[in-house]
């Protein structure tokens, strides 16, 4: 199959990340929907020893959106608003659930803007030093959102 480098492919990628994050889709709950309306107490409950809280899973997804944006734009590490990487233990003193959900929204918007600004001809080129193409990173982050949306839905059932 010939790889397209037209804007139609970029539009499709944007639709995929939108559905995985916060738009209505046939597959059910998206990432943003999975955390909508959760209390700080529920987001903080650990479903079992050594298991991640919903809050931790949500921040993990925000971090990887930041990472994808950074890779697409060729930026250096170090600008994620929370110190550390990948997994962030929560709750911690001074952390606020609602403001960190807002951070997820902000990071997603920044990533989406970076994707929308891509030259469609670069979709099948590797992103900087990544071993993956720009398109693969974008499809991957959508898959990552949906994986963790399902995980959050399961954790909600386990903690109730």
d(CA 34, CA 146): 10
pTM: 0.92
State the pLDDT at residue 1.
37
Which residues 6+ apart lie within 8 Å of 124 measured at CB? Answer: 3, 5, 133, 134, 135
> Is residue 89 situated within a structural domain?
yes
Domain assignment of residue 53, given as a range: 7-159
Number of domains in the chain: 1
- The mean of the pLDDT values for the chain is 92
State the pLDDT at residue 129.
79
Cβ atoms 53, 46 nearer than 8 A? yes
- In terms of Cβ atoms closer than 10 Å to its own Cβ (0-12, 13-18, 19+), residue 1 is exposed
Cβ atoms 152, 28 nearer than 8 A? no
- Give the tens place of pLDDT for each residue, 27-42: 899 999 999 999 999 9
> Is residue 1 situated within a structural domain?
no
Q: What is the CATH number of the domain that holds 129?
A: 1.20.120.450
Question: Radius of gyration (Cα) for the chain, nearest Å?
Answer: 16
- Give the tens place of pLDDT for each residue, 34-89: 999 999 999 999 999 999 999 999 999 999 999 999 999 998 888 899 988 899 99
> Is residue 17 situated within a structural domain?
yes
């Amino acid at each position: 199959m010939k790889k397209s480098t037209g804007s139609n492919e970029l539009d499709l990628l944007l639709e995929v990340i939108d559905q995985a994050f916060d738009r209505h889709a046939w597959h059910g709950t998206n990432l943003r929907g999975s955390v909508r309306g959760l209390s700080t107490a529920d987001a903080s409950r650990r479903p079992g020893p050594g298991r991640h809280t919903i809050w931790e899973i949500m921040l993990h997804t925000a971090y990887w959106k930041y990472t994808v944006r950074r890779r697409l734009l060729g930026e250096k590490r170090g600008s994620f608003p929370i110190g550390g990487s990948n997994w962030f233990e929560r709750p911690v003193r001074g952390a606020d659930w609602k403001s960190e959900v807002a951070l997820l929204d902000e990071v997603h918007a920044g990533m989406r803007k970076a994707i929308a600004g891509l030259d469609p001809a670069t979709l099948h080129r590797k992103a900087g030093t990544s071993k993956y193409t720009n398109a693969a990173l974008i499809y991957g982050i959508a898959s990552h959102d949906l994986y963790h949306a399902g995980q959050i839905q399961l954790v909600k059932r386990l903690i109730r």
